[in-house]
Structure 1
Amino acid sequence: MTEICMIRHGQTDWNAMARIQGCTDIPLNEIGRDQARAVAEMISRESGEWDAIWASPLSRALDTARIIADHLRMEPIHTDSDLQERNFGAAEGMNRDRRIERFGNGPIPGAESWEEVRQRSLEMIEKIRSIRPDQRVLVVTHGGVINSIMSHLSGGEIGPGKTIITNASAHLIAWEGAWRIQWFNRTADQRAGITSRRRDSSISSMRDLASPSLKL
């Protein structure tokens, strides 16, 4: 069985201000570094040993990965641009209200589509599975990447526009002939149960949710 634990990076100042980051390289703030240490401790305590660690090359994810890798005594950290956040084009740096005022619900100049994010994200987890079959891999990435993967694996039950991926949250998927969701949105201060903060209603029982076949 291959297991991939996806972890969203810790908080940045732009997260705190609700500004769209996308591919803009915003560093962790002190809260974000504390969050990275806390999730590293949670993973070490509750999930045992891991075989490898991958990360987005954007500093907020890579520095989160470095903190986790240091705590778990793991090296090296493998980086891949397919783990970067969605490119939001001209909307980067804006908050949600400003984005809607400027672009409404229409296309954003220079922005990557959610379908493009979904495709590269799914290809990335398949790449990791092919390189690390039957191993346990940590992947430190971004909310858009995690939401896109989870949307596919849940058949659209969760995902962009429905689910908020919290900073320094952990999400475990496992491959045994198909990908299944094991943990969703687990954080260091919310270890009991599998819960999700949603814009509409809560999901409280995502364990072993069957996924559709990947079509890459």
Structure 2
Amino acid sequence: MAGVRALQWLNLTRHGESTGNLAYQAVHGTDAEEAAIPERDADVPLSDAGREQAATLGRWLAALPEEERPTHVIASPYLRAVDTAKIALAQASYAAPRDPGGPVLRIDERLRDREQGVLQNLTPLGVRRRFPDEAARLRRLGKFYYRAPGGESWADLALRLRSFYRDLEADAPGGRVLVVTHDAIVVMTRYLVEGLTEKDVMEVERVPVANASVTRWRSDGSGLQAVCYNDCSHLTDVGAPAP
């Protein structure tokens, strides 16, 4: 993807475990039609485990070689992503006094989670029961192009992410960037950077992106090359991340 060729490192992480993740886990495998999430999506906070995952992410950042440490950190405006970034940066600065200032956190609304519209907080069973026509449209169009009323398709994410990465290239040429965001953004960044097809990216999406996992690309002079995807090796001390 031309919009990120000028970067030296591109690192993406999903936010730490949130109370919303726990709400979906609580209804998984039941006949519930909806997850009990009282907040609007932008205000869903981290769980206690999610805050510890964010601190562990910060220790991972502090342990990186100097030539790999992020020079720019950008987060989704959603609370769970902002708090993950703030906790990680605070921990990284404490653990790495050689760089007490560190990068300044920036917020960009183009990194927000995929908007679900009228299907927000519904389980697959809830969608089938409450919106059978939408369930039929989803089956007919396929997940990549389906857009719920008031929501976004996966293809819509590609449009706003192309804009984000074009601006990032202009703002941070040669930079080492950390993006703190959501699972759908991590998946669609792979689609853009690695030139995946619809079939490819929907196969990637079948495996959940873990909370506080790390996905990385490094420049080889001609473009970004994949280093790791959905890597959780730094999280072994805080337990398995939630899907």
TM-score by length of 1: 0.78
**How many angstroms apart in 1 are the aligned matches of 2:57 and 2:210?**
12
**How many angstroms apart in 2 are the aligned matches of 1:98 and 1:62?**
30
Question: Aligned residue for 1:83?
Answer: 111
CA-CA distance at 1:41 after TM superposition? 1.3
Cα displacement string for residues 82-138 of structure 1 (whole angstroms, at most 9, x for unaligned residues): 010111111112223323433315242111121110121233123222211112111
Question: Aligned residue for 1:120?
Answer: 160
Aligned partner letter, 2:10: I
Q: Find out whether 1:177 has 2:183 as its counterpart.
A: no
CA-CA distance at 1:69 after TM superposition? 1.3
Aligned partner letter, 1:184: Y
CA-CA distance at 1:14 after TM superposition? 1.2
Question: Aligned residue for 1:162?
Answer: 206
Structure 2 unaligned segments of length 5 or more: list them: 1-6, 25-34, 94-101, 138-146, 238-242
Q: 1:76 to 1:161 in 2, by over 3 A?
A: closer
**How many angstroms apart in 2 are the aligned matches of 1:85 and 1:163?**
17
Aligned CA-pair RMSD: 2.6
**How many angstroms apart in 2 are the aligned matches of 1:94 and 1:139?**
28
Question: Aligned residue for 2:235?
Answer: 189
Q: Find out whether 1:30 has 2:48 as its counterpart.
A: yes
**Equivalent residues, number:** 192
**How many angstroms apart in 1 are the aligned matches of 2:125 and 2:22?**
15
Structure 1 unaligned segments of length 5 or more: list them: 192-197, 199-216
Contact 2:71–2:103 (CA<8 Å) still a contact in 1? no
**How many angstroms apart in 1 are the aligned matches of 2:190 and 2:124?**
23
Q: Which has the higher contact order (CA 8 A, sep 6+)?
A: 2
Q: 1:31 to 1:47 in 2, by over 3 A?
A: farther
Q: Which one of the candidate residues 35, 59, 75 is aligned to 1:41?
A: 59
Aligned partner letter, 1:68: A
What fraction of aligned residue pairs are identical, expressed as a percent?
A: 22
**How many angstroms apart in 1 are the aligned matches of 2:52 and 2:227?**
25
**How many angstroms apart in 1 are the aligned matches of 2:20 and 2:44?**
7
CA-CA distance at 1:76 after TM superposition? 2.0
Question: Aligned residue for 1:5?
Answer: 11
Q: Which one of the candidate residues 16, 21, 46 is aligned to 1:15?
A: 21
**How many angstroms apart in 2 are the aligned matches of 1:136 and 1:126?**
15
**Which of these two proteins has the greater Rg computed from alpha carbons?**
2
Q: 1:32 to 1:140 in 2, by over 3 A?
A: same
TM-score by length of 2: 0.70
